[in-house]
Structure 1
């Protein structure tokens, strides 16, 4: 049997995508969603595994800009559309695609590689750590409200419109947030259309999506995109407000939007998914216990170039530490690196000095955005202290006051 791994051509994209859909259950996406991914896809980063002309494996990448601690946006390969046909499992095909993709990322000079995982255990063996989690909430609106709105909440003006009509104002808000929070994606041309996807066949009985825009002094300060799923239990409304996005530049705007969503008629709950783990709602809701908060993995991150990646971010405190990095999958990262820097910048270069901390690149990916501390990873046995006393200052330096968050998938 002859297996061929290569880039796909433009003519092969449709059968390639068909194979991807089949691997993910066989339910075809809407024409508008499929069309958008086709426009955003990069053919020179799209790999196919072929068995006698038939696609049995898929791998794609987007060129993304990921915000890191300190506010810089770092070039990142967004791994996506990965699948292997059930008939071709356990033959090393996924490994070959990942090797090819990461080697190409290194050649392009990308410091980071990121993905969201359909199945969480898959990508750790390739050096990806869970760099950001997300929060979901199911808020019973007749029993939970906004407990103590911050000053200025009542002065926020709210307007309801369509997501398309409000897009420019929403993107203005989103752009302000990107440098503030690690893990956010710079909105590059074409990606703004992804937030408008709302195929009728995928609404699950909910309404067309709406958008409420928060303004102050004529300037947008926040927005929420949501849909209503109206249901009845006998004569009592039992539906939901399904919130896709809720972004705001200040506390009052956030509180005003949350209060609006909790006050919508003909529903009994508000469902929010994919929120930051430090979302203000945790502190704004009057009864968190009734709000069914749940945590899940969100962003998986790996360092393609340890030196460049560690030098690209800023640190919460001064740091001067020698890291002994293990990376069997990308051996060019193996060895000892001296990281020196602080809030103003950093340098990370190879060294022959004795190691002070020892860790796998997977743990480095988990700590990179500040979502997990080196101390917590050490408690799990994933970071070793080769020099007594080295862990605490390094863990403090890697921290960040705002939790990392990936606002949307790719």
Structure 2
């Protein structure tokens, strides 16, 4: 082992486990563990083939394993990893650890394996100077106890004909050009539009080439029972202004063609480009249904159709946010209104965050200092993570009795300051 891979025993859990860095040679065993934990349909070999290219590109230096060496072996019983994202949060694009590949071998659940991994991972993220971690939770009951809070809700939407008609006054530009092609032929256009969108949309991260490879993958597993992935790009004289990635599915019934359009990604940087994309998607011949899987809750689509009540929307939790460095995160965040308060934070797995913090904020940021003053509000770090993107108010936690307001009105003031009018969107499960 190198110094970077030194085995470190972790204590303070129901059982002591050894957590060490893994490398490329360990990855197959980690995939086996994670696949079993997540009840994956694919075999470990198929999962490895699918996941290896992305991890080869992003590196293995952040890859952690928990091993059971009690009988002289080195059985991998748990795994976690994280990607080095540049993600847009309140205050702008910042480094964020995108946690992924978390799993525990079924015979070792509830024995402290995951706690050992998460504690070590948080320490290393903090030591690297990264103030945030984010993840998609396969099971929501797990991650709150490690300080993650459900911070973003996204929307799936189904639109059926004849309710795909857009309003007559929807903004249209006859000079826009619409091009439909295989995604690889317009990858540069897709990347340009996404780069612009991701710089301003909460929850988006800038995609490397490896992430575009994953997003545009179009093998049998990605297609399922649908057609090949297609890209429709909208351009004006200055370049691309929006795109959609989608597949179609031919369906026939007693009333004739009932085809489906399945939109994987929908991105536009101007209102007219958005309308042009929708008219393309809604206007495909032989189709009766258009389904979107990832939309922000503030999507303009309901405002553009003639009858918004006919849209079927399903909200789902996406990003969970963890403040790895509470004072640092609060300092660089922007706020809607100035405020001053003392918050008392509990943090079981990152003790450097625990304590009382005097936060004096204005719209450009905050001064955050440790204090012995009486708290106005007591809460867990997970509640701060949930509220950090400005979509989830703390009032719900207060009404549930999960946080304590010592000074009346503190939560209302903090919710007002944290609120964002623009909804977050990750759009990619990592």
TM score, norm. by length of structure 2: 0.89
2:411 corresponds to which residue?
391
User: CA–CA distance in 2 between the matches of 1:41 and 1:381?
Assistant: 42
Report whether the alignment pairs 1:24 with 2:38.
yes
Aligned residue in 1 for 2:5: none
Query: d(CA) in 2 for partners of 1:155 and 1:378?
Result: 52
Deviation at 1:130, TM superposition (A): 0.5
Question: Which deviates more, 347-356 or 214-223?
Answer: 347-356
**Any residues of structure 2 matched to 1:358-397 within 5 Å, and which?**
358-397=378-417
Equivalence map 1:155-304=2 (5 Å): 155-188=175-208, 190-234=210-254, 236-304=256-324
Q: Secondary structure at the match of 1:164?
A: helix
Distance 1:145 1:31 in 2: 44
Gaps of 5+ in 2: 1-14
Alpha-carbon contact 1:5-1:48 (below 8 Å) kept: yes
- Local SS of the residue matching 2:285: coil
Q: Is the 8 A contact 2:302 2:311 kept in 1?
A: no
- Relative to structure 2, which stretch is displaced further, 128-137 or 278-287? 278-287
Cα distance in structure 1, aligned partners of 2:221 and 2:394: 44
**SS of equivalent to 2:297:** coil
Secondary structure, counterpart of 1:293 in structure 2: strand
- In structure 2, what is the equivalent of residue 43 of structure 1? 60
How many angstroms apart in 1 are the aligned matches of 2:389 and 2:332? 11
Deviation at 1:99, TM superposition (A): 0.8
Q: Which moved more, 1:34-43 or 1:118-127?
A: 34-43
Q: Which runs of 5 or more structure 1 residues have no equivalent in the other structure? A: none
Q: Are the equivalent residues in 2 in contact too, given 1:363–1:382 (CA < 8 A)?
A: no
What do residues 22-80 of structure 1 show as CA deviations (whole Å, max 9, x unaligned)?
Answer: 3333414467632323324432211122343333222111111221123x212111110
Change (3 A) 1:383 1:153: farther
1:59 is matched with: 80
Give yes or no for contact 1:41–1:61 (8 Å, CA) kept in 2: no
Any idea what SS the aligned residue of 2:97 has? strand
Cα RMSD (Å): 2.1
Contact 1:73 1:186 in 2 (8 A): no
Larger mean CA deviation between 377-386 and 300-309 belongs to 377-386
Cα gap change, 1:258/1:383 in structure 2, threshold over 3 Å: closer, same or farther? farther
* Contact 1:326–1:335, Cα closer than 8 Å, also in 2: yes
How many residues align structurally?
409
- Greater mean alpha carbon deviation, residues 185-194 or residues 115-124: 185-194
Q: Is the alpha carbon distance of 1:90 and 1:389 closer, same or farther for their aligned partners in structure 2, counting shifts above 3 Å?
A: closer
Q: SS of the residue aligned with 1:242?
A: strand
**3-state DSSP of counterpart to 1:37:** helix
Map of 2:11 onto structure 1: none
What do the CA deviations read for 1:128-157 (whole angstroms, capped 9, x no partner)? 101101100111133332234533344432
Q: Secondary structure at the match of 2:151?
A: strand
What TM-score, normalized by structure 1, do the two folds share? 0.93
